[in-house]
Structure 1
Amino acid sequence: MHIGFIGLGNMGSGMAANLLTAGHEVTAYNRTAAKVDALAAKGAHPARTVADACRADVVMTMLADDEAVQAVSFGEHGIVASLRPDAVHVSSSTISVALAERLTAAHRDAGQRFVSAPVFGRPEAAAAAKLFVVAAGDSQVVGDLAPVFEAIGQRTFVVGTEPRSANLVKVSGNFLIASVIESLGEAMALVAKGGVDAGDYLELLTSTLFDAPVYRTYGGLVARRDFEPAGFSATGGLKDVRLALEAGEALRVPLPVASLLRDRFLTLLATGGGHLDWSAIGALSAWEAGGASPTT
Protein backbone atom coordinates (compact mmCIF):
# COMPACT_ATOMS: atom_id res chain seq x y z
CA MET A 1 0.00 0.00 0.00
CA HIS A 2 1.22 3.52 -0.78
CA ILE A 3 1.08 5.61 2.39
CA GLY A 4 1.77 9.29 2.86
CA PHE A 5 3.01 9.95 6.39
CA ILE A 6 2.92 13.42 7.93
CA GLY A 7 4.67 14.01 11.26
CA LEU A 8 8.01 12.38 12.10
CA GLY A 9 8.31 13.24 15.78
CA ASN A 10 9.01 10.90 18.69
CA MET A 11 6.11 8.64 17.71
CA GLY A 12 5.76 9.18 13.98
CA SER A 13 9.35 8.39 13.05
CA GLY A 14 9.09 4.89 14.51
CA MET A 15 5.65 4.28 13.02
CA ALA A 16 6.73 5.34 9.53
CA ALA A 17 9.88 3.21 9.74
CA ASN A 18 7.79 0.17 10.64
CA LEU A 19 5.51 0.76 7.67
CA LEU A 20 8.60 0.60 5.46
CA THR A 21 9.80 -2.56 7.19
CA ALA A 22 6.41 -4.17 6.51
CA GLY A 23 6.84 -3.51 2.80
CA HIS A 24 4.59 -0.48 2.34
CA GLU A 25 5.61 2.37 0.06
CA VAL A 26 5.95 5.48 2.22
CA THR A 27 6.10 9.12 1.19
CA ALA A 28 7.02 11.21 4.22
CA TYR A 29 6.56 14.87 5.11
CA ASN A 30 7.79 16.76 8.16
CA ARG A 31 8.41 20.44 8.78
CA THR A 32 11.99 19.57 9.74
CA ALA A 33 13.56 18.24 6.55
CA ALA A 34 16.34 16.40 8.38
CA LYS A 35 13.81 13.94 9.78
CA VAL A 36 12.48 13.26 6.28
CA ASP A 37 16.03 12.71 5.03
CA ALA A 38 16.68 10.19 7.81
CA LEU A 39 13.60 8.19 6.79
CA ALA A 40 14.49 8.52 3.10
CA ALA A 41 17.77 6.77 3.92
CA LYS A 42 15.63 3.78 4.93
CA GLY A 43 13.72 3.79 1.66
CA ALA A 44 10.97 6.40 2.01
CA HIS A 45 10.16 8.95 -0.67
CA PRO A 46 10.68 12.51 0.58
CA ALA A 47 7.75 14.91 0.28
CA ARG A 48 8.56 18.59 0.34
CA THR A 49 4.95 19.67 0.83
CA VAL A 50 1.81 18.28 2.45
CA ALA A 51 0.27 17.99 -1.02
CA ASP A 52 3.17 15.79 -2.16
CA ALA A 53 2.41 13.34 0.67
CA CYS A 54 -1.24 13.19 -0.39
CA ARG A 55 -0.58 11.42 -3.70
CA ALA A 56 -1.04 8.11 -1.92
CA ASP A 57 -3.83 5.64 -1.19
CA VAL A 58 -3.69 6.56 2.49
CA VAL A 59 -2.26 9.56 4.30
CA MET A 60 -1.48 9.22 8.00
CA THR A 61 -0.99 12.11 10.38
CA MET A 62 0.83 11.86 13.71
CA LEU A 63 1.09 15.37 15.08
CA ALA A 64 1.22 17.12 18.42
CA ASP A 65 -2.18 18.77 18.78
CA ASP A 66 -5.32 20.17 17.17
CA GLU A 67 -3.50 23.22 15.84
CA ALA A 68 -0.90 21.13 14.02
CA VAL A 69 -3.49 18.76 12.54
CA GLN A 70 -5.66 21.66 11.37
CA ALA A 71 -2.65 23.34 9.77
CA VAL A 72 -1.94 20.35 7.50
CA SER A 73 -5.56 19.33 6.93
CA PHE A 74 -7.24 22.53 5.82
CA GLY A 75 -6.36 25.31 3.42
CA GLU A 76 -5.55 25.50 -0.26
CA HIS A 77 -2.73 22.94 -0.14
CA GLY A 78 -3.90 20.87 2.83
CA ILE A 79 -4.92 17.22 3.00
CA VAL A 80 -8.59 17.79 2.29
CA ALA A 81 -7.78 19.86 -0.80
CA SER A 82 -5.05 17.52 -2.04
CA LEU A 83 -6.26 13.98 -1.34
CA ARG A 84 -7.96 12.23 -4.27
CA PRO A 85 -11.57 11.05 -3.96
CA ASP A 86 -11.98 7.75 -2.07
CA ALA A 87 -8.50 8.04 -0.56
CA VAL A 88 -8.23 7.77 3.22
CA HIS A 89 -6.92 10.11 5.89
CA VAL A 90 -5.93 8.21 9.04
CA SER A 91 -5.39 10.47 12.04
CA SER A 92 -3.28 8.88 14.77
CA SER A 93 -2.84 12.12 16.66
CA THR A 94 -4.42 12.75 20.06
CA ILE A 95 -6.93 15.41 19.05
CA SER A 96 -10.22 16.75 20.34
CA VAL A 97 -13.51 15.04 19.67
CA ALA A 98 -14.69 18.28 18.06
CA LEU A 99 -11.82 18.29 15.55
CA ALA A 100 -12.48 14.63 14.71
CA GLU A 101 -16.06 15.57 13.91
CA ARG A 102 -14.91 18.48 11.74
CA LEU A 103 -12.45 16.27 9.83
CA THR A 104 -15.09 13.59 9.31
CA ALA A 105 -17.45 16.12 7.74
CA ALA A 106 -14.77 17.79 5.61
CA HIS A 107 -13.52 14.53 4.14
CA ARG A 108 -17.06 13.28 3.56
CA ASP A 109 -17.91 16.46 1.66
CA ALA A 110 -14.75 16.02 -0.45
CA GLY A 111 -15.63 12.42 -1.30
CA GLN A 112 -12.80 11.07 0.83
CA ARG A 113 -12.68 8.73 3.82
CA PHE A 114 -11.57 9.56 7.36
CA VAL A 115 -10.56 7.14 10.10
CA SER A 116 -9.40 8.02 13.59
CA ALA A 117 -6.72 5.64 14.82
CA PRO A 118 -4.90 7.08 17.84
CA VAL A 119 -2.47 4.81 19.64
CA PHE A 120 -1.45 3.88 23.16
CA GLY A 121 2.25 3.45 23.80
CA ARG A 122 5.42 5.44 24.29
CA PRO A 123 8.11 6.12 21.63
CA GLU A 124 9.94 2.87 22.41
CA ALA A 125 6.72 0.97 21.68
CA ALA A 126 6.30 2.89 18.43
CA ALA A 127 9.84 1.93 17.37
CA ALA A 128 9.20 -1.73 18.22
CA ALA A 129 5.78 -1.87 16.46
CA LYS A 130 4.17 -2.65 19.83
CA LEU A 131 1.54 0.08 19.91
CA PHE A 132 -2.12 -0.51 20.68
CA VAL A 133 -4.28 1.02 17.94
CA VAL A 134 -7.76 2.36 18.68
CA ALA A 135 -9.66 2.68 15.41
CA ALA A 136 -13.07 4.00 14.41
CA GLY A 137 -14.64 4.73 11.05
CA ASP A 138 -16.45 3.03 8.21
CA SER A 139 -16.22 -0.72 8.83
CA GLN A 140 -15.03 -1.58 5.32
CA VAL A 141 -12.38 1.12 5.34
CA VAL A 142 -11.13 0.14 8.80
CA GLY A 143 -10.94 -3.48 7.66
CA ASP A 144 -8.95 -2.52 4.57
CA LEU A 145 -6.49 -0.70 6.83
CA ALA A 146 -5.67 -3.83 8.84
CA PRO A 147 -2.23 -4.29 7.17
CA VAL A 148 -1.34 -0.71 8.12
CA PHE A 149 -2.33 -1.15 11.74
CA GLU A 150 -0.59 -4.54 11.95
CA ALA A 151 2.63 -2.89 10.78
CA ILE A 152 2.66 -0.37 13.63
CA GLY A 153 1.00 -2.17 16.50
CA GLN A 154 0.52 -5.40 18.40
CA ARG A 155 -3.28 -5.19 18.52
CA THR A 156 -6.08 -3.09 17.05
CA PHE A 157 -9.30 -2.28 18.91
CA VAL A 158 -12.21 -1.13 16.73
CA VAL A 159 -14.53 0.99 18.87
CA GLY A 160 -17.19 2.13 16.42
CA THR A 161 -18.07 3.50 13.02
CA GLU A 162 -17.87 7.18 14.02
CA PRO A 163 -14.24 8.37 14.05
CA ARG A 164 -14.84 10.60 17.08
CA SER A 165 -15.35 7.47 19.23
CA ALA A 166 -11.67 6.55 18.91
CA ASN A 167 -10.62 10.03 19.97
CA LEU A 168 -12.91 9.94 22.99
CA VAL A 169 -11.42 6.59 24.03
CA LYS A 170 -7.87 7.90 23.56
CA VAL A 171 -8.52 11.07 25.57
CA SER A 172 -10.15 9.06 28.36
CA GLY A 173 -7.21 6.65 28.40
CA ASN A 174 -4.65 9.43 28.72
CA PHE A 175 -6.73 10.91 31.53
CA LEU A 176 -6.52 7.55 33.32
CA ILE A 177 -2.75 7.36 32.81
CA ALA A 178 -2.31 10.83 34.28
CA SER A 179 -4.51 9.80 37.22
CA VAL A 180 -2.26 6.79 37.85
CA ILE A 181 0.88 8.93 37.70
CA GLU A 182 -0.51 11.41 40.21
CA SER A 183 -1.80 8.78 42.66
CA LEU A 184 1.41 6.75 42.41
CA GLY A 185 3.45 9.87 43.07
CA GLU A 186 1.44 10.70 46.16
CA ALA A 187 1.69 7.16 47.54
CA MET A 188 5.42 6.95 46.81
CA ALA A 189 6.04 10.31 48.46
CA LEU A 190 4.19 9.12 51.56
CA VAL A 191 6.15 5.89 52.03
CA ALA A 192 9.49 7.45 51.05
CA LYS A 193 9.19 10.16 53.67
CA GLY A 194 8.41 7.40 56.15
CA GLY A 195 11.70 5.68 55.32
CA VAL A 196 10.61 3.07 52.76
CA ASP A 197 12.68 2.84 49.58
CA ALA A 198 10.57 3.96 46.61
CA GLY A 199 12.01 1.28 44.32
CA ASP A 200 11.25 -1.47 46.81
CA TYR A 201 7.74 -0.11 47.27
CA LEU A 202 7.16 -0.12 43.51
CA GLU A 203 8.40 -3.71 43.29
CA LEU A 204 5.86 -4.71 45.94
CA LEU A 205 3.04 -2.93 44.13
CA THR A 206 3.80 -4.34 40.69
CA SER A 207 4.31 -7.86 42.05
CA THR A 208 0.92 -7.93 43.76
CA LEU A 209 -2.23 -5.92 43.09
CA PHE A 210 -0.85 -3.49 40.50
CA ASP A 211 0.89 -5.73 37.97
CA ALA A 212 0.12 -3.63 34.92
CA PRO A 213 2.33 -1.87 32.34
CA VAL A 214 1.15 1.59 33.33
CA TYR A 215 2.27 1.08 36.95
CA ARG A 216 5.57 -0.53 35.99
CA THR A 217 6.46 2.05 33.33
CA TYR A 218 5.40 5.25 35.05
CA GLY A 219 6.19 4.08 38.55
CA GLY A 220 9.72 3.33 37.38
CA LEU A 221 10.09 6.77 35.82
CA VAL A 222 8.92 8.46 39.03
CA ALA A 223 11.06 6.29 41.32
CA ARG A 224 14.17 6.96 39.20
CA ARG A 225 13.21 10.60 38.52
CA ASP A 226 13.82 9.77 34.88
CA PHE A 227 12.08 12.74 33.27
CA GLU A 228 14.51 13.67 30.49
CA PRO A 229 14.39 13.30 27.57
CA ALA A 230 10.61 13.32 27.54
CA GLY A 231 8.82 10.50 25.82
CA PHE A 232 5.70 12.66 26.11
CA SER A 233 6.03 16.15 27.52
CA ALA A 234 4.25 17.71 30.47
CA THR A 235 2.98 20.36 28.05
CA GLY A 236 1.36 17.57 26.06
CA GLY A 237 -0.07 16.08 29.24
CA LEU A 238 -1.78 19.35 30.09
CA LYS A 239 -3.18 19.46 26.56
CA ASP A 240 -4.66 15.98 26.88
CA VAL A 241 -6.24 16.64 30.28
CA ARG A 242 -7.83 19.74 28.81
CA LEU A 243 -9.19 17.60 25.96
CA ALA A 244 -10.77 15.29 28.54
CA LEU A 245 -12.34 18.23 30.35
CA GLU A 246 -13.60 19.62 27.05
CA ALA A 247 -15.19 16.28 26.16
CA GLY A 248 -16.70 16.01 29.62
CA GLU A 249 -18.23 19.45 29.35
CA ALA A 250 -19.70 18.65 25.92
CA LEU A 251 -21.24 15.42 27.21
CA ARG A 252 -22.23 16.91 30.60
CA VAL A 253 -19.98 14.49 32.51
CA PRO A 254 -18.22 15.99 35.56
CA LEU A 255 -14.54 15.04 35.77
CA PRO A 256 -13.30 16.38 39.13
CA VAL A 257 -10.07 14.37 39.05
CA ALA A 258 -9.29 15.80 35.62
CA SER A 259 -9.68 19.29 37.07
CA LEU A 260 -7.14 18.40 39.77
CA LEU A 261 -4.75 17.01 37.15
CA ARG A 262 -5.00 20.19 35.11
CA ASP A 263 -3.81 22.12 38.15
CA ARG A 264 -0.99 19.62 38.81
CA PHE A 265 0.28 20.05 35.26
CA LEU A 266 -0.03 23.83 35.57
CA THR A 267 2.09 23.66 38.75
CA LEU A 268 4.76 21.71 36.92
CA LEU A 269 4.75 24.07 33.95
CA ALA A 270 4.78 27.15 36.21
CA THR A 271 7.97 25.90 37.86
CA GLY A 272 9.78 25.35 34.56
CA GLY A 273 8.92 21.71 33.92
CA GLY A 274 7.02 21.90 30.65
CA HIS A 275 9.82 20.13 28.78
CA LEU A 276 9.95 17.21 31.22
CA ASP A 277 8.20 13.89 30.70
CA TRP A 278 4.60 14.10 31.83
CA SER A 279 5.39 11.53 34.53
CA ALA A 280 7.15 14.37 36.37
CA ILE A 281 3.81 15.34 37.93
CA GLY A 282 4.38 12.21 40.02
CA ALA A 283 7.31 13.97 41.70
CA LEU A 284 5.31 17.02 42.78
CA SER A 285 4.05 15.48 46.03
CA ALA A 286 7.56 14.56 47.18
CA TRP A 287 8.70 18.11 46.43
CA GLU A 288 5.76 19.59 48.33
CA ALA A 289 6.66 17.31 51.24
CA GLY A 290 10.16 18.79 51.41
CA GLY A 291 11.97 16.84 48.72
CA ALA A 292 13.68 17.91 45.52
CA SER A 293 11.81 19.73 42.77
CA PRO A 294 11.07 17.71 39.62
CA THR A 295 13.03 20.32 37.68
CA THR A 296 16.30 19.73 39.59
Structure 2
Amino acid sequence: MDIGLIGLGAMGRAMAVNLVAAGHTVKVWNRSGGKINGVTMVGSPSEAFHGDAALTMLSDDAAIRTVLLDPGVLRQARPGLVHVVSSTISVAFAQELVREHAEAGLGYVSAPVLGRPDVAAKGELNVLAGGAPAAVDGIRPILDVIGGRIWDMGPEAPTANAAKIACNMMITMAIEAMAEAVVITEANGLARDRFFELILGTLFGSRSYQVYSANIAAGTYEPGFKATLGLKDLRLAKEAAEQVGHSLPMLGAVHQRMAETVEAGFGERDWSAMADFTIRGATGPSR
Protein backbone atom coordinates (compact mmCIF):
# COMPACT_ATOMS: atom_id res chain seq x y z
CA MET A 1 0.00 0.00 0.00
CA ASP A 2 0.95 3.62 -0.49
CA ILE A 3 0.77 4.98 3.07
CA GLY A 4 1.20 8.47 4.43
CA LEU A 5 2.21 8.86 8.06
CA ILE A 6 2.08 12.01 10.17
CA GLY A 7 3.99 12.19 13.44
CA LEU A 8 7.42 10.72 14.18
CA GLY A 9 7.43 10.39 17.93
CA ALA A 10 8.67 7.13 19.41
CA MET A 11 5.46 5.33 18.43
CA GLY A 12 5.16 6.82 14.95
CA ARG A 13 8.79 6.08 14.16
CA ALA A 14 8.38 2.43 15.14
CA MET A 15 5.27 2.14 13.00
CA ALA A 16 7.03 3.68 9.98
CA VAL A 17 10.01 1.33 10.29
CA ASN A 18 7.76 -1.73 10.47
CA LEU A 19 5.58 -0.62 7.54
CA VAL A 20 8.65 -0.17 5.34
CA ALA A 21 10.02 -3.54 6.43
CA ALA A 22 6.68 -5.12 5.42
CA GLY A 23 7.07 -3.77 1.87
CA HIS A 24 4.75 -0.76 1.99
CA THR A 25 5.56 2.60 0.44
CA VAL A 26 5.68 5.12 3.27
CA LYS A 27 5.68 8.92 3.01
CA VAL A 28 6.10 10.84 6.26
CA TRP A 29 5.48 14.39 7.35
CA ASN A 30 6.82 15.44 10.72
CA ARG A 31 6.75 18.93 12.18
CA SER A 32 10.40 18.77 13.23
CA GLY A 33 11.67 16.75 10.26
CA GLY A 34 13.61 13.53 10.68
CA LYS A 35 14.92 10.66 8.62
CA ILE A 36 14.19 6.94 8.41
CA ASN A 37 15.79 4.54 5.96
CA GLY A 38 13.32 3.60 3.23
CA VAL A 39 10.89 6.39 4.09
CA THR A 40 10.22 9.41 1.89
CA MET A 41 9.94 12.61 3.93
CA VAL A 42 7.44 15.06 2.43
CA GLY A 43 7.14 18.79 2.82
CA SER A 44 3.51 19.14 3.91
CA PRO A 45 0.76 17.12 5.62
CA SER A 46 -1.35 17.22 2.46
CA GLU A 47 1.34 15.26 0.58
CA ALA A 48 0.89 12.44 3.07
CA PHE A 49 -2.80 12.29 2.09
CA HIS A 50 -2.26 11.40 -1.56
CA GLY A 51 -1.93 7.63 -1.20
CA ASP A 52 -4.19 4.72 -0.32
CA ALA A 53 -4.26 5.53 3.37
CA ALA A 54 -2.88 7.97 5.91
CA LEU A 55 -1.91 7.13 9.48
CA THR A 56 -1.81 9.87 12.10
CA MET A 57 0.16 9.55 15.35
CA LEU A 58 -0.03 13.03 16.88
CA SER A 59 -0.24 13.88 20.57
CA ASP A 60 -3.77 15.20 21.03
CA ASP A 61 -6.91 16.82 19.62
CA ALA A 62 -5.26 20.22 19.25
CA ALA A 63 -2.33 18.87 17.25
CA ILE A 64 -4.62 17.07 14.79
CA ARG A 65 -6.80 20.14 14.45
CA THR A 66 -3.80 22.39 13.81
CA VAL A 67 -2.08 20.06 11.35
CA LEU A 68 -5.06 18.67 9.44
CA LEU A 69 -8.37 20.44 9.98
CA ASP A 70 -7.42 24.11 10.11
CA PRO A 71 -5.33 24.02 6.88
CA GLY A 72 -8.04 22.04 5.05
CA VAL A 73 -5.87 18.98 4.44
CA LEU A 74 -8.88 16.65 4.26
CA ARG A 75 -10.29 18.62 1.32
CA GLN A 76 -6.99 18.19 -0.52
CA ALA A 77 -6.72 14.43 0.03
CA ARG A 78 -6.97 11.77 -2.66
CA PRO A 79 -10.66 10.77 -3.00
CA GLY A 80 -11.36 7.46 -1.30
CA LEU A 81 -8.32 7.59 0.98
CA VAL A 82 -8.84 6.10 4.44
CA HIS A 83 -7.48 8.06 7.37
CA VAL A 84 -6.41 6.06 10.43
CA VAL A 85 -5.99 7.99 13.69
CA SER A 86 -3.97 6.04 16.23
CA SER A 87 -3.61 8.92 18.67
CA THR A 88 -5.43 8.98 22.00
CA ILE A 89 -8.06 11.66 21.37
CA SER A 90 -11.32 12.70 22.99
CA VAL A 91 -14.58 10.97 22.16
CA ALA A 92 -16.11 14.32 21.20
CA PHE A 93 -13.28 15.07 18.77
CA ALA A 94 -13.53 11.59 17.25
CA GLN A 95 -17.22 12.28 16.60
CA GLU A 96 -16.23 15.52 14.88
CA LEU A 97 -13.64 13.70 12.78
CA VAL A 98 -16.25 11.20 11.60
CA ARG A 99 -18.38 14.09 10.29
CA GLU A 100 -15.44 15.93 8.74
CA HIS A 101 -14.24 12.88 6.83
CA ALA A 102 -17.72 12.01 5.59
CA GLU A 103 -18.12 15.54 4.23
CA ALA A 104 -14.72 15.28 2.52
CA GLY A 105 -15.55 11.89 0.97
CA LEU A 106 -12.85 10.06 2.92
CA GLY A 107 -12.87 6.92 5.01
CA TYR A 108 -12.12 7.24 8.71
CA VAL A 109 -10.97 4.68 11.28
CA SER A 110 -10.15 5.26 14.93
CA ALA A 111 -7.34 2.86 15.82
CA PRO A 112 -5.76 3.88 19.14
CA VAL A 113 -3.19 1.44 20.46
CA LEU A 114 -2.23 -0.17 23.74
CA GLY A 115 1.49 -0.59 24.26
CA ARG A 116 4.69 1.32 24.83
CA PRO A 117 7.42 2.14 22.26
CA ASP A 118 9.23 -1.18 22.83
CA VAL A 119 6.01 -3.04 21.98
CA ALA A 120 5.47 -0.84 18.92
CA ALA A 121 8.99 -1.64 17.71
CA LYS A 122 8.11 -5.34 17.78
CA GLY A 123 4.85 -4.75 15.89
CA GLU A 124 2.94 -6.21 18.81
CA LEU A 125 0.61 -3.36 19.78
CA ASN A 126 -2.98 -4.07 20.71
CA VAL A 127 -4.97 -2.07 18.17
CA LEU A 128 -8.51 -0.97 19.07
CA ALA A 129 -10.18 -0.53 15.68
CA GLY A 130 -13.48 1.27 15.25
CA GLY A 131 -15.15 2.38 12.06
CA ALA A 132 -17.18 1.32 9.04
CA PRO A 133 -16.34 -2.32 8.25
CA ALA A 134 -15.32 -1.48 4.68
CA ALA A 135 -12.90 1.19 5.90
CA VAL A 136 -11.40 -1.09 8.54
CA ASP A 137 -11.01 -3.92 6.04
CA GLY A 138 -9.32 -1.53 3.60
CA ILE A 139 -6.56 -0.64 6.04
CA ARG A 140 -6.19 -4.13 7.51
CA PRO A 141 -2.69 -4.53 5.97
CA ILE A 142 -1.56 -1.53 8.04
CA LEU A 143 -3.12 -2.79 11.25
CA ASP A 144 -1.63 -6.25 10.74
CA VAL A 145 1.87 -4.73 10.60
CA ILE A 146 1.65 -2.43 13.62
CA GLY A 147 -0.46 -4.72 15.81
CA GLY A 148 -0.03 -8.09 17.40
CA ARG A 149 -3.80 -8.26 17.80
CA ILE A 150 -6.60 -6.21 16.28
CA TRP A 151 -9.62 -5.70 18.52
CA ASP A 152 -12.91 -4.96 16.76
CA MET A 153 -14.59 -2.10 18.59
CA GLY A 154 -17.55 -1.94 16.23
CA PRO A 155 -18.77 0.24 13.35
CA GLU A 156 -18.77 3.55 15.26
CA ALA A 157 -15.23 4.94 15.32
CA PRO A 158 -15.53 6.88 18.63
CA THR A 159 -16.21 3.64 20.50
CA ALA A 160 -12.53 2.75 20.05
CA ASN A 161 -11.51 6.08 21.55
CA ALA A 162 -13.76 5.55 24.56
CA ALA A 163 -12.20 2.13 25.10
CA LYS A 164 -8.64 3.49 24.88
CA ILE A 165 -9.36 6.32 27.32
CA ALA A 166 -10.95 3.85 29.74
CA CYS A 167 -7.92 1.54 29.52
CA ASN A 168 -5.48 4.36 30.29
CA MET A 169 -7.66 5.46 33.18
CA MET A 170 -7.51 1.94 34.60
CA ILE A 171 -3.70 1.83 34.30
CA THR A 172 -3.40 4.94 36.47
CA MET A 173 -5.76 3.37 38.97
CA ALA A 174 -3.48 0.31 39.08
CA ILE A 175 -0.46 2.55 39.70
CA GLU A 176 -2.23 4.35 42.54
CA ALA A 177 -3.50 1.06 43.98
CA MET A 178 0.05 -0.30 44.18
CA ALA A 179 1.32 2.92 45.74
CA GLU A 180 -1.34 2.88 48.45
CA ALA A 181 -0.64 -0.79 49.13
CA VAL A 182 3.07 -0.02 49.54
CA VAL A 183 2.25 2.65 52.13
CA ILE A 184 0.53 0.01 54.28
CA THR A 185 2.95 -2.88 53.74
CA GLU A 186 6.23 -0.94 54.08
CA ALA A 187 5.00 0.71 57.26
CA ASN A 188 4.64 -2.81 58.64
CA GLY A 189 8.06 -4.05 57.64
CA LEU A 190 7.43 -5.69 54.25
CA ALA A 191 9.79 -4.59 51.47
CA ARG A 192 7.96 -3.47 48.36
CA ASP A 193 9.75 -5.95 46.09
CA ARG A 194 8.58 -8.81 48.30
CA PHE A 195 5.05 -7.46 48.27
CA PHE A 196 5.08 -7.12 44.49
CA GLU A 197 6.34 -10.69 44.17
CA LEU A 198 3.27 -11.73 46.13
CA ILE A 199 0.70 -9.80 44.12
CA LEU A 200 2.20 -10.64 40.72
CA GLY A 201 2.26 -14.32 41.62
CA THR A 202 -1.32 -14.41 42.87
CA LEU A 203 -4.07 -11.95 42.01
CA PHE A 204 -2.48 -9.20 39.90
CA GLY A 205 -0.29 -10.69 37.19
CA SER A 206 -1.37 -8.41 34.34
CA ARG A 207 1.08 -6.42 32.22
CA SER A 208 0.17 -3.09 33.82
CA TYR A 209 1.02 -4.41 37.27
CA GLN A 210 4.18 -6.10 35.97
CA VAL A 211 5.54 -3.00 34.21
CA TYR A 212 4.69 -0.37 36.79
CA SER A 213 5.45 -2.41 39.90
CA ALA A 214 9.01 -2.64 38.59
CA ASN A 215 9.22 1.17 38.41
CA ILE A 216 7.76 1.57 41.89
CA ALA A 217 9.99 -1.15 43.37
CA ALA A 218 13.10 0.52 41.99
CA GLY A 219 11.89 4.03 42.72
CA THR A 220 12.96 5.09 39.22
CA TYR A 221 10.65 6.63 36.68
CA GLU A 222 12.54 7.00 33.42
CA PRO A 223 10.25 8.20 30.62
CA GLY A 224 8.16 5.54 28.97
CA PHE A 225 4.76 7.20 28.80
CA LYS A 226 5.16 10.76 30.03
CA ALA A 227 3.12 12.10 32.92
CA THR A 228 2.00 15.07 30.80
CA LEU A 229 0.35 12.65 28.38
CA GLY A 230 -1.14 10.70 31.26
CA LEU A 231 -2.69 13.88 32.61
CA LYS A 232 -4.10 14.64 29.17
CA ASP A 233 -5.68 11.20 28.93
CA LEU A 234 -7.23 11.48 32.39
CA ARG A 235 -8.72 14.82 31.38
CA LEU A 236 -10.21 13.10 28.34
CA ALA A 237 -11.68 10.44 30.62
CA LYS A 238 -13.28 13.10 32.83
CA GLU A 239 -14.73 14.81 29.77
CA ALA A 240 -16.10 11.50 28.45
CA ALA A 241 -17.75 10.80 31.82
CA GLU A 242 -19.23 14.30 31.98
CA GLN A 243 -20.52 13.90 28.43
CA VAL A 244 -22.76 11.06 29.63
CA GLY A 245 -23.67 12.74 32.91
CA HIS A 246 -21.45 10.84 35.36
CA SER A 247 -18.90 11.79 37.99
CA LEU A 248 -16.36 9.02 38.66
CA PRO A 249 -14.73 9.30 42.12
CA MET A 250 -11.68 7.08 41.48
CA LEU A 251 -11.03 8.94 38.24
CA GLY A 252 -11.17 12.23 40.13
CA ALA A 253 -8.57 10.98 42.60
CA VAL A 254 -6.02 9.77 40.06
CA HIS A 255 -6.53 12.88 37.92
CA GLN A 256 -5.67 15.04 40.94
CA ARG A 257 -2.61 12.92 41.76
CA MET A 258 -1.34 13.09 38.17
CA ALA A 259 -1.92 16.84 38.12
CA GLU A 260 0.19 17.17 41.27
CA THR A 261 2.94 15.14 39.60
CA VAL A 262 3.03 17.40 36.56
CA GLU A 263 2.73 20.62 38.57
CA ALA A 264 5.73 19.56 40.67
CA GLY A 265 7.88 19.43 37.54
CA PHE A 266 7.79 15.72 36.78
CA GLY A 267 5.75 15.94 33.58
CA GLU A 268 8.57 14.49 31.48
CA ARG A 269 9.02 11.48 33.79
CA ASP A 270 7.08 8.26 33.37
CA TRP A 271 3.47 8.60 34.51
CA SER A 272 4.09 6.00 37.21
CA ALA A 273 6.01 8.76 39.02
CA MET A 274 2.62 9.67 40.49
CA ALA A 275 3.07 6.68 42.81
CA ASP A 276 5.81 8.46 44.74
CA PHE A 277 3.43 11.29 45.62
CA THR A 278 1.41 8.76 47.56
CA ILE A 279 4.37 6.82 49.00
CA ARG A 280 6.50 9.83 49.93
CA GLY A 281 3.65 12.20 50.68
CA ALA A 282 3.95 15.86 49.78
CA THR A 283 7.62 15.64 48.75
CA GLY A 284 6.79 13.75 45.55
CA PRO A 285 9.17 11.73 43.37
CA SER A 286 12.90 11.94 43.87
CA ARG A 287 14.66 13.58 40.99
TM range (shorter): over 0.9
Match of 2:26?
A: 26
Question: One-letter code of the match for 1:14?
Answer: A
Q: How many angstroms does 1:95 deviate by?
A: 0.2
Per the alignment, residue 12 of structure 2 pairs with: 12
8 Å Cα contact 2:261/2:284 also seen in 1: no
- Corresponding residue for 1:293? 284
1:203 is paired with a residue whose SS is helix
Cα offset, 1:77, TM superposition: 4.8
The answer as to whether partners of 2:82 and 2:139 remain within 8 angstroms in 1 is no
Q: What is residue 117 of structure 2 aligned with on the other side?
A: 123
Q: Which amino acid aligns with 1:4?
A: G
Q: Percent identity?
A: 39
What displacement does 1:116 show?
0.2
8 Å Cα contact 1:2/1:24 also seen in 2: yes
TM-score of the two chains, using structure 2 as the length reference: 0.96
| Partner Cα separation in structure 2 for residue 12 and residue 226 of structure 1 | 26
TM-score (norm 1): 0.94
2:173 is equivalent to residue 179 of structure 1:
yes
Match of 1:60 among 55, 60, 63: 55
Q: Which residue of 1 aligns with 2:93?
A: 99
CA distance in 2, matches of 1:103, 1:177: 26
| Aligned partner letter, 2:125 | L
**1:85 CA displacement:** 1.5
- 2: CA distance, partners of 1:128 / 1:274: 27
Aligned residue for 1:264?
257
Unaligned 5+ segments in structure 1 are none
Alignment partner, residue 84 of structure 2: 90
- C-alpha distance in 2, partners of 1:271/1:295? 11
Change (3 A) 1:222 1:82: farther
Task: Identify the match of residue 273 of structure 1 among 266, 271, 286.
Answer: 266
> SS of 1:26's equivalent?
strand
- Deviation of 1:189 after TM superposition, in Å, equals 2.7
Unpaired runs of 5+ residues, structure 2, are none
Task: For residue 195 of structure 1, report the CA deviation from its aligned partner.
Answer: 2.2
Task: Give RMSD over aligned pairs.
Answer: 1.3
Instruction: Name the CA distance, whole Å, in 1 between partners of 2:71 and 2:205.
Output: 50
Kept in 2, the 8 Å contact 1:10–1:231? The answer is: no
- Hey, what does 2:132 align to over in structure 1? 138
Query: What SS does the aligned partner of 2:127 have?
Result: strand
Matched, 1:164 2:158: yes
Among 39, 59, 67, the residue aligned to 1:72: 67
